[in-house]
Amino acid sequence: MEEFGNKINIKVKTSINKTENIEKITNAVENIVKIKYITTDMEIIGTTDNYRELKNLYEVFRNKQTTHIARKVLLKNLQENTSQILFNKQAAAVNSIVICDKMNESPLGPIIMEIDTTDIEEFIDWFVPKHTT
């Protein structure tokens, strides 16, 4: 994993529906990014300022050659120095990374990862480059 030199804040969250098992949803979220989470009856939220926490996703995007999809979504969702990417919660529960283009593509609600950094375009180029090696 290459170094990322800018200040970064990563927030991962998802809602918990009444029919969902909190432990299974927590595991699903941890399959996306392994950070510490706060769990309530209604949602799971985790934050970190350590880009190394993205190592799993960084490698998954390259191994499964889904870099172009993640890049497209992050660029589309760009707002100032922030962007977000949505993941299918059910897929994450079985340790599969599936990117959603829209909120309703994950029937029980997506896992939302929001990235805020001093240069979001530099982050996108680092995280999901145009051409993988």
pLDDT digits (tens, 9 = 90+) for 96-109: 999 998 999 998 99
Of 9, 27, 12, 11, give the one whose Cα is nearest residue 111: 12
Residue 132, pLDDT above cutoff 90: no
Residues 36-93: tens digit of each pLDDT = 999 998 999 999 999 999 998 998 888 777 888 999 999 999 999 999 999 999 999 9
Walk across the sheet containing 99-100 and list its strands.
37-39, 43-48, 8-15, 111-117, 82-87, 99-100
pTM exceeding 0.85: yes
Residues 9-51: tens digit of each pLDDT = 999 999 999 999 999 999 999 999 999 999 998 999 999 999 9
